[in-house]
Structure 1
Amino acid sequence: MTQNVQIGKTEVFSTPLGLGTNAVGGHNLFPNLNDDIGKEIVRTALNSGITLLDTAFAYGMGRSEELIGEVLKEFDRSKIVIATKAAHDPAKGGAFNNTPEFLTRSVNEALERLQTDYIDIFYIHFPDETTPKNEAIAALQKLKELGKIRAIGVSNFSLAQIKEANQEGNIDIVEDEYSLIHREAENELLPYLKEQQISFVPYFPLASGLLTGKYESDVTFPPEDLRSKKPDFQGERFKAVIDKVSQLKLIAADYNASVAEIVLAWYIKNPFVAVVIPGAKKPEQVINNVKALDVHLTQEDYQRINKLF
């Protein structure tokens, strides 16, 4: 097993591979989800040695947190790292809210749904347009001093917003889009975070399945499928990505691993990335993802993959 990583400068430590839980109770995001399967996904992750569970109020409007809270009771809470997020305000029709009052209430309500007395990592899920970001973080800092949260995070913030929020140096972790095919963050964001000792968690690390090797270039998606709207899944861009992924199959064969395991191992070796959090819709996918912890890429192969994309 790979050694645990420290979140920012906090006392929170996590496995370098976590579980993204938007398909656990995220009925508003995916059709036909089954809550019992969702709970089994969480159980499988914890039984496989994963310690970090990444959830959010927006996944099922609290349902994901409730299901995780039910499973938590079966395990030693002190060994589990719970990350959750809030910004969608039901009182404002789901509009983003970062006010100190809203964030404080969100933390307290999440604690109830999760049936726990502290949250390891709490993120502001999206920036709103009006709240000064340093005031939003100051509210979370108070909750941290009260022991209700252990690490402060932001998600989907621009670099300027992160800097505004981090005026007192209180941000511990940032979660944002980053993958082998979306690398804009390498230009300015990731160097700033590294310099400030802020941990980074990429979301969509497998690019909605595009980086798993399961698609061929002639596949099409029906209009109701979210993927049919994504530029990554269209035309020449889609074909180009599929072509590169097929070259990853050769590297995967050398390691006796799947393409997804190789891609996840690339993030685990990436000096900018603290924890990678692939999601799963089935317990078997969790078991497959965990195998990535046993894939130790050579520096040469890490660079080969780097150059390929």
Structure 2
Amino acid sequence: MEQTKLGRSNIQVSRIGLGTWAIGGWMWGGTDEQESIRTILRALELGINLIDTAPAYGAGLSEEIVGKAVKQYGHREDVVIATKVGLELLPGGGVRRNATKQALQKELDDSLRRLQTDYIDLYQVHWPDPLVPVAEIADTLHDMLKAGKIRAVGVSNFSPAQMEEWLSVAPLHTAQPPYNIFEREIEKDVLPFCREHGIATLMYGSLCRGLLTGKMKRETTFQGDDLRKTDPKFQQPRYDQYLSAVEQISAIAREYNKTMPQFSVRWVLDQPGASVALWGARHPEQLADVPGVDGWHIRAQDLKRVDEILERSVTDPVGPEFMAPPSR
């Protein structure tokens, strides 16, 4: 599998990482622990060595499952565990932003315990906290880095201005923004900033919450607390527009003898400044297409065709803003 480094760290990772939000169950209609462990082990077998998780994914459940799977795998040093910090779990469910020094230190200890490890490879601030200066958050994570409790530092959902403030006081190895064929706001500012400053990018939502798998139908329904019940892309009339775009892009993918997930993830990896695409899965079979992403590229004229399809089909595009958690 293609490899890259996490920014200016010495950590080598696969260019596809396993995303484990769905494994936590919260906002994805529940989970199955044993099935999730099998999924993580299958990812490792396929050459994926980066596993991305967070305390917010199922109130710690995703981290616990990752910890059990890595322990069962037995080669901790071969696995790059990326988790996050800065979202406070609320007693009645849900989360809110809290990046105070005390909260960050407690979260680190809790994550280490759940992950059954004595260090975290990549520690990322999940969302900026408007009530805590970026420099103060950066200082806290820099202390963790110097203490050896974490090996690299990252941020998620930060603007270039916030990352610039971070860099004025501490190193920053990675950024994790939302990015896929449909959600491309970061091309204007975040991607150029990261390229300029040697910051690796971990793209979440590469398959746009399943929309870019090609398996969604007009009649597809979502159960329980599934976030797609409130995602504007999955509401009419937008939903039909996005499904139409997927159908047309699938025709281009077939010209390469590729499935829609393979084409969609390759599209992410072929963009300037893209380091890693996160592939969300909670069943082993959802990783079946992973081997077909390596060793080829999308031609420039076909990237242009994708753009033309979007311009023609999606008349009312919308980004991932609905996922932003509240402040305190």
TM-score, normalized by length of structure 2? 0.86
Contact 1:69/1:115, CA 8 A, preserved across alignment: yes
**Out of 46, 49, 65, which is 1:48 matched to?**
46
What does 1:170-181 correspond to in 2, within 5 Å? 170-181=171-182
Contact 1:16/1:275, CA 8 A, preserved across alignment: yes
Distance 1:198 1:281, change over 3 A: same
- How far apart, in 1, do the equivalents of 2:190 and 2:87 lie? 24
Query: Does 1:79 find its partner at 2:78?
Result: yes
Aligned residues: 306
Distance 1:75 1:257, change over 3 A: farther
What does 1:71-220 correspond to in 2, within 5 Å? 71-73=69-71, 74-90=73-89, 94-168=95-169, 170-216=171-217, 218-219=218-219
SS at match of 1:177: coil
- How far apart, in 2, do the equivalents of 1:21 and 1:223 lie? 19
- How far apart, in 1, do the equivalents of 2:201 and 2:180 lie? 12
State the AA in 1 paired with 2:16.
Answer: L
Q: Offset of 1:105 from its aligned partner?
A: 2.3
- How far apart, in 2, do the equivalents of 1:169 and 1:17 lie? 27
Distance 1:273 1:40, change over 3 A: same
Query: What is residue 12 of structure 1 aligned with on the other side?
Result: 11
State the AA in 1 paired with 2:87.
Answer: H
State the AA in 2 paired with 1:33.
Answer: T
CA RMSD of aligned residues (A): 2.1
SS at match of 1:277: strand
- How far apart, in 2, do the equivalents of 1:246 and 1:172 lie? 37
Query: Does 1:64 find its partner at 2:62?
Result: yes
Contact 2:27/2:227, CA 8 A, preserved across alignment: no
- How far apart, in 1, do the equivalents of 2:76 and 2:222 lie? 42
Query: What is residue 322 of structure 2 aligned with on the other side?
Result: none
Q: Offset of 1:171 from its aligned partner?
A: 1.4
SS at match of 2:123: strand
State the AA in 2 paired with 1:245.
Answer: V
Q: Offset of 1:169 from its aligned partner?
A: 5.0
Single out whichever of 179-188 and 101-110 deviates more from structure 2: 101-110
Query: Does 1:23 find its partner at 2:22?
Result: yes
Contact 1:122/1:152, CA 8 A, preserved across alignment: yes
Contact 1:84/1:122, CA 8 A, preserved across alignment: yes
TM-score, normalized by length of structure 1? 0.91
Q: Offset of 1:285 from its aligned partner?
A: 0.6
CA deviation digits over 1:106-151, x for unaligned, max 9?
A: 2222112111121111011122221111111111111111111111
Unaligned runs of 5+ in 2: 311-328
Query: What is residue 33 of structure 1 aligned with on the other side?
Result: 31
Distance 1:222 1:39, change over 3 A: closer
- How far apart, in 2, do the equivalents of 1:172 and 1:41 lie? 27
Query: What is residue 271 of structure 1 aligned with on the other side?
Result: 272
State the AA in 1 paired with 2:195.
Answer: K
SS at match of 2:293: helix
Contact 1:17/1:293, CA 8 A, preserved across alignment: no
Distance 1:202 1:307, change over 3 A: farther
SS at match of 2:15: coil
Instruction: Work out the percentage of aligned pairs sharing the same amino acid.
Output: 34
- How far apart, in 2, do the equivalents of 1:92 and 1:154 lie? 25
Query: What is residue 231 of structure 1 aligned with on the other side?
Result: 232
SS at match of 1:278: strand
SS at match of 1:179: coil
Distance 1:203 1:132, change over 3 A: same
- How far apart, in 2, do the equivalents of 1:166 and 1:102 lie? 22
State the AA in 2 paired with 1:126.
Answer: W
